[in-house]
């Protein structure tokens, strides 16, 4: 489906408002967010979106879940200031799958669509929703496997007679004279 055939309006018929997020890891080494901004702006224009704001983190690693511009984007998302978040690539937004999925789940809950140009993911389309559903299922499987391993580890430790929990504290009562 071409970007021209994807609706650029919300259910109420109003023009959709988007936020553009870009990030580069290094600052001052010739890398800027300008290339990403150009591609994201062109995409938004082709789709007929109104650009609410550009959020740009320069010189900040993607491994950090908390980044100044990303934090502002998430705050504005929770205030429902836009309908769509557009990024150049997943790794510009999040470096870990768990961080990406947490953000996508929050956007889904808020009714905000997510578009990644490089991966051709658009959660406003049926194919994009299917991919989000598959990613969500994988994340749920991962959470369940971790939970299962933790329970197995606790069970093994108990069978080996290991004490679990915090160590007991011995309280010494002081006498007043």
For residue 80, give the H/E element and its range.
Answer: none
CB atoms within 10 A of CB 46: 13
Instruction: List pLDDT tens digits, range 61-86.
Output: 777 778 999 999 999 999 999 999 99
The confidence score (pLDDT) of residue 36 equals: 95
- Mean pLDDT over each residue of the chain, to the nearest integer: 84
pLDDT at 21 over 90: yes
d(CA 104, CA 160): 41
The residue annotated as part of the active site, out of 2, 3, 5, 25, is 25
Asked if residues 31 and 42 have their Cβ atoms less than 8 Å apart, the reply is: no
Asked if residues 1 and 67 have their Cβ atoms less than 8 Å apart, the reply is: no
pLDDT at 96 over 90: no
What is the average pLDDT across 20-44?
89
The confidence score (pLDDT) of residue 27 equals: 75
Instruction: List pLDDT tens digits, range 116-127.
Output: 998 888 988 888
Closest C-alpha to 64, from 40, 42, 94, 35: 94
Q: How many residues does the chain have?
A: 177
User: Would you call 124 a catalytic residue per the annotation?
Assistant: no
Instruction: List pLDDT tens digits, range 33-59.
Output: 999 999 999 999 999 999 999 999 988
pLDDT class for 132, splitting at 50, 70, 90? confident
pLDDT class for 7, splitting at 50, 70, 90? low
């Amino acid at each position: 489906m071409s970007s021209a055939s994807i609706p650029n309006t919300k259910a109420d018929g109003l023009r959709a408002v988007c936020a553009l997020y870009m990030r580069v890891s290094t600052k001052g080494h010739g890398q800027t967010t300008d290339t990403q901004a150009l591609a994201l702006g062109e995409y938004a224009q082709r789709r007929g979106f109104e650009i609410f704001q550009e959020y740009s983190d320069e010189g900040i690693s993607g491994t950090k879940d908390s980044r100044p511009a990303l934090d502002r984007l998430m705050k504005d998302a929770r205030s429902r200031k836009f309908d769509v978040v557009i990024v150049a690539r997943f790794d510009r937004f999040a470096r870990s799958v768990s961080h990406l999925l947490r953000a996508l789940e929050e956007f889904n809950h808020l009714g905000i669509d997510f578009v990644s140009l490089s991966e051709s993911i658009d959660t406003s389309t049926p194919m994009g929703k299917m991919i989000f559903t598959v990613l969500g299922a994988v994340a749920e499987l991962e959470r369940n496997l971790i939970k299962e391993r933790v329970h197995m580890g606790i069970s093994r430790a108990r069978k080996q007679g290991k004490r679990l929990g915090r160590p007991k504290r011995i309280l010494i009562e002081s006498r007043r004279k």
